[in-house]
Amino acid sequence: MFFSATQIAESVKRLEPINPFFGITYLVFKKGNLPVGTRTPFQIDAENRKFLEKYYRPDGRSNWFYRVFRPSDKNKHWNKPDYAAKGLQSVNTRTFGDAFLHERDSNIWGWNPGYVGILEKELKTKVPMLDLAVWLYRERDWPEGTTAQDIIKTFKDEFSISDDEERRLFDLPAPFPSLLEEEKLDFQPEKVTWQELREKLDPNPPPDFKPEEGGILRSLTIQGVGPARTIIFEPAERLSLITGDNGLGKTFLLECAWWALTGNWAGPAAYPRGDSKIDEPKISFQIAGEERSKPIAIAFHRETNSWPLPKKRPTIPGLTVYARVDGSFAVWDPMMNRHLLDSLSQKTRESLYFVFTREEVWKGSDDKINGLLRDWVSWQAQPEKHPFRIFQRVLHRLSPPDFKLEPGEPVRLPGTTVEIPTLKHPYGEVPIVFESAGVRRIITLAYLIVWAWNEHKVYSGLARKEPQSNLVILVDEMEAHLHPQWQRVVLPALLDVGAELSEDLENELRVQLIVATHSPLVTASVEPLFDSEKDKLFHLEMELSGNVKLEELRFLVYGSFDSWLTSKVFGLPQAKNPLAEDAIQRAIALQREEKPDPEEVRKVSDDLQEYLSAEDTFWPRWLYFAEQHGVRL
């Protein structure tokens, strides 16, 4: 068992006021059995460096050492890579020089016979031995039943701490030793990672920190902007469904999610509410990959009417594709953008983004994208290449249930100079320019996903890096232009796209889907697949006060589309036409009256006969009631 992150963080807090000498150099000399009263060669700078590498470099990606002891500056969390030869050397020779037998500029060292008393005088606070041991032994696997006394004994033995040193330099849990065995230590089964510990210690990142790449959206908080005063959105790891009435902010939420991920607005920038306070408009977000990072808060800059970009992101978001409701698409690729950003001015960098209109997606846009028409034909001409094979499989996966989206042979149309891709139908091959709006939307979505992933792999190869393991897909109005049969299968198919893109990867590409929908067929389609561990259902609704709120709902299996329509998600009183719904509501109101008017019962019965089918489930209940009040149907 290992010390928990909580235990280590508590110990570090108690070590802050201690001089770093006692946690590093003193222990190095004790470990090396430095003689007392005589001198011996000792490479203290090199040994200190080894000690720091072993115990004070928790983040292997950084060359800086974590600063556990901060008696003078609580906010300085890191020591430079040359700390052993410079910072510590000054502490050793100036503050504690009298404790040693040492000649300047030599590697000959020894303890002054009275060194314990000299060190004791320099102590402002005794060193908490147990806490120091917890920090040093944070990666050690301890046997079941280990006590505080066991930890302290191990520490004393390994560093040859004498009884005199223990008494005069160290602070032990009191009263010692009677309660030491009862000192409660917090353990956990697995070794603490720096990620876990960092969340507890909350340090600033080291100066040589390189942002993690390939993050997904973990949280988004919007204040003083949009239809709600405050929205807190914590999307799921895999699928987040966003529902709600028109005008309550589904598209707005997706636009803000895109901005949080990429730093650019796909359309007009969000603007503060008219009733927001001067300092209220703010968007906070957290992008995280394998490691959790701190949320970033961006306040609206009223002087420039803009949202300034964060100066430094702890995590760079992964490849992101956004299918907007107007048919345009936006793509963010950190690998592609890195290549382009290096050669652009700061001003250009801040305005750079990839948003393609429907026309640009199909016909191309300068040097950014060739376009669906050209790429499809080009990929098909070289079918052994990955793009076309993957594109075929993605099309097949996203197909409607009644026929498969299968490419045919390209054709020339009258008046054109280029070949046009076709799709196979039972009645023949159809040029895609003549396909229905629903088919065009899905083949465009499939193309953008495959194109973005292929470009990402190309630029990753140029940078000699592995492709990222996360893909974020945002889709507004998933059901747009799709027949109900297609609405029932498209979202489950989209959940499987990662597997189709991962054919040449060691691990399957993970996809985070954030989808806005009005369709009960879309929500019902994921009933067999919904996993509360990695999926969430959200609902935007208007409160009586006029405030809009975003609520995470428990995902229930309703079993039928009618039940979804009358659930809180869609909020219809009846899954029927408005006239039938009104008739049923009047009928229910009559049933609740103590003495219903027979004439009114007859009128409602006539309306029910006109607007309800003979098989409607409401009839048995109403027939009995009507007969009880003199109306036979």
Model confidence over 577-625: pLDDT tens digits?
Answer: 888 888 889 989 988 988 888 889 889 888 889 888 888 888 888 888 8
Q: Give the number of domains in the chain.
A: 2
More confidently predicted of 159 and 560: 159
Listed residue (263, 364, 321, 361) closest to 476, CA to CA? 321
Can you tell me the mean pLDDT for 411-416? 88
Residue 133 belongs to a domain:
yes
Residue with token string 């901005």: 259
Q: What is the pLDDT of residues 51-71, one digit of tens each?
A: 999 999 998 888 999 999 988
Residue 338 has a pLDDT of 56
Which of 162, 186, 201 terminates a domain? The answer is 201
Residue 201 has a pLDDT of 87
DSSP characters over 277-327: -TT--EEEEEEESSS----EEEE-BTTTTB-PPPS--SEEE-EEEEE-TTS
Residue 561 belongs to a domain:
no
* pLDDT surpasses 70 at 342: no
Residue 252 belongs to a domain:
no
Residue 18 has a pLDDT of 93
Residue 232 has a pLDDT of 95
Q: Give the number of other Cβ atoms within 10 Å of residue 398's Cβ.
A: 23
Listed residue (570, 571, 496) closest to 526, CA to CA? 496
- 93 within 8 A of 20, measured Cβ to Cβ: no
Can you tell me the mean pLDDT for 185-199? 88
Residue 583 belongs to a domain:
yes
Query: Which of 91-100, 393-402, 614-623 tops mean pLDDT?
Result: 393-402
Residue 351 has a pLDDT of 41
Instruction: Give the mean pLDDT of the chain.
Output: 88
Listed residue (21, 19, 41) closest to 32, CA to CA? 41
Residue 257 belongs to a domain:
no
Of the listed ranges 244-253, 328-337, 351-360, 485-494, the least confidently predicted one is 351-360
Residue 573 belongs to a domain:
no
Question: The domain containing residue 134 runs over which residues?
Answer: 2-201
Can you tell me the mean pLDDT for 377-383? 88
* pLDDT surpasses 50 at 341: no
Of the listed ranges 290-294, 391-395, 466-470, the least confidently predicted one is 290-294
Residue 161 belongs to a domain:
yes
- Give the separation between CA 114 and CA 119, rounded to whole angstroms: 9
Residue 183 has a pLDDT of 57
Per-residue DSSP letter, 466: P
Report in angstroms the alpha-carbon separations of 281 from 18, 190, 258, 294, 340.
Answer: 42, 42, 18, 20, 31
SS3 call for 475: strand
Which of 166, 201, 236 terminates a domain? The answer is 201
Residue 235 belongs to a domain:
no
Can you tell me the mean pLDDT for 556-585? 87
Instruction: Name the pLDDT band for 73 (thresholds 50, 70, 90).
Output: confident
Residue 340 has a pLDDT of 46
Which of 201, 224, 259 terminates a domain? The answer is 201
Instruction: Name the pLDDT band for 348 (thresholds 50, 70, 90).
Output: very low
